[in-house]
Amino acid sequence: MSTGDIFENLVFPKGGPNKTALVQRDGYSVMRISLGKGAKIPPHVANHSAFFLVLKGRAIITSGDEDVELGENEFVAMEANQMRGIQALEDSVILGVRD
């Protein structure tokens, strides 16, 4: 069993993401991604499926050939081998789950 506070030791870097592994198990991992306003994860293709849930802030998330603006409590799910990226419109905390 794992427990914790998702907002503990939170950092909002301006130049790029701060990724914190919360849970890593066979078959999936859960990450906390924090980005300062204007910070980006450039669009790239990843070979795993992913689910992103915005916990705090607003961000534009690239999913395939679409850009989706998401706010708190909104999510996007994407397939493997699909273009993805994140741009923080304000300080943002995103929960990422991948297989």
Report yes or no on 11 lying in a domain: no
Position 1 in a domain:
no
Q: Is residue 7 part of a domain?
A: no
Can you give the pLDDT at residue 13? Answer: 79
Of 13, 28, 37, 30, the closest CA to residue 99 belongs to 28
Is the pLDDT reported for residue 20 higher than 80?
A: yes
Bridge-based pairing of strands 40-46 and 50-56 is: unpaired
Give the tens place of pLDDT for each residue, 41-86.
999 999 999 999 999 999 999 999 999 999 999 999 999 999 999 9
pTM of the model: 0.93
The CATH number of the domain holding residue 49 is: 2.60.120.10
Alpha-carbon distance 83 to 24, whole Å? 23
Structural domain of 75: 18-98
Q: What pLDDT is stored for residue 12 in this prediction? A: 87
Mean pLDDT of 7-35: 93
